[in-house]
């Protein structure tokens, strides 16, 4: 059902059971898939695709051109994954050609009020961004990661799988998978995200291996290269440990410690 006061471009592709609330504006070249509901006063701009079963609340703005001085009006897109909830006044911007031309939100994300996702960002499955958390451009957020209210992430930083970033934290370097991080003026690590890992039913064996790995990497006083060699020699190479080590090896901004 489309409310009679909504403005929907005839060149938008809207599945028949999509609900669009009063005074919302849907531009051309937008695709909205089945089961999605859109509240009042929502703006969805050109080249945006909304997956099935999403919920978009009032005054959200999705698909606007990026806030990047290098943007030259090129075609770029926003993709929102299945089952994602986008709350009031959230903003999500299109990509730029220098970042592949796409901003992509994964499946079953919860994006709370006033969050911002800038150009060329990618989020995994079941990510939570609490109220007013902000992602600068070119950021990757791993599966099941959580960012607390007012957390701010610097351009090109990465947040690993199952990481928890505390409220009002300033993230300037990569946050490894499975850890807790918080702090201003810059983030610091505060151990494993044990509560989150238990909620996601990680095994006792995996938890023990990750704890050993964390102590060696971040609390032994070794350099990261020395610590990685020690982990490789001493800790069982379960998939989560391998994921953590590979994340660190691939870091370009450096690792939060």
pLDDT score for 220: 95
Q: How far, in Å, CA of 236 to CA of 146, rounded?
A: 27
pLDDT score for 189: 98
In CATH, the architecture of 7-138 is 3 Solenoid (2.160)
C-beta neighbour count of 3 within 10 angstroms? 14
Domain regions of the chain by residue span? 7-138, 197-249
Rounded average pLDDT over 44-70:
98
Identical fold between 7-138 and 197-249: no
* Predicted confidence (pLDDT) at residue 144 exceeds the cutoff of 90: yes
* Predicted confidence (pLDDT) at residue 236 exceeds the cutoff of 80: no
Give the CATH number of domain 197-249: 1.20.1180.10
* Predicted confidence (pLDDT) at residue 234 exceeds the cutoff of 90: no
Q: Tens of pLDDT along 125-138?
A: 999 999 999 999 99
User: Measuring CA to CA, which residue among 89, 77, 101 is closest to residue 27?
Assistant: 77
45 is written with which tokens?
A: 């701009």
Q: Are 13 and 36 in contact (CB under 8 A)?
A: no
37 is written with which tokens?
A: 């509901």
């Amino acid at each position: 059902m489309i409310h009679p006061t909504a403005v929907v471009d005839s060149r938008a592709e809207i599945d028949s059971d999509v609900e669009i609330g009063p005074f919302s504006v849907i531009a051309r070249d937008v695709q909205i898939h089945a089961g999605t509901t859109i509240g009042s006063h929502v703006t969805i701009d050109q080249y945006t695709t909304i997956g099935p079963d999403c919920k978009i609340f009032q005054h959200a703005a999705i698909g606007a051109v990026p806030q990047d001085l290098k943007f030259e009006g090129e075609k770029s897109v926003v993709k929102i994954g299945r089952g994602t909830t986008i709350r009031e006044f959230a903003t999500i911007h299109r990509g730029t050609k220098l970042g592949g031309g796409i901003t992509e939100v994964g499946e079953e994300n919860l994006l709370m009020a006033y969050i911002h996702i800038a150009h060329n960002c990618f989020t995994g499955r079941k990510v939570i961004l609490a109220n007013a958390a902000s992602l600068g451009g070119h950021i990757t957020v791993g599966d099941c990661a959580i960012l607390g209210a007012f957390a701010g992430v610097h351009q090109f930083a990465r947040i690993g799988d199952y990481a928890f970033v505390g409220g009002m934290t300033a993230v300037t370097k990569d946050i490894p998978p499975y850890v807790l991080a918080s702090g201003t003026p810059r983030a610091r690590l505060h151990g494993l995200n044990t509560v989150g890992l238990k909620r996601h039913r990680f095994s006792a064996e995996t938890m023990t291996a990750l704890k050993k790995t964390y102590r060696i990497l971040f609390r032994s006083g070794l350099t990261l290269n020395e610590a990685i060699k020690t982990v490789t020699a001493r800790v069982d190479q379960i998939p989560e440990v391998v994921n953590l080590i590979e994340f660190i090896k691939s870091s370009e901004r450096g690792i939060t410690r």
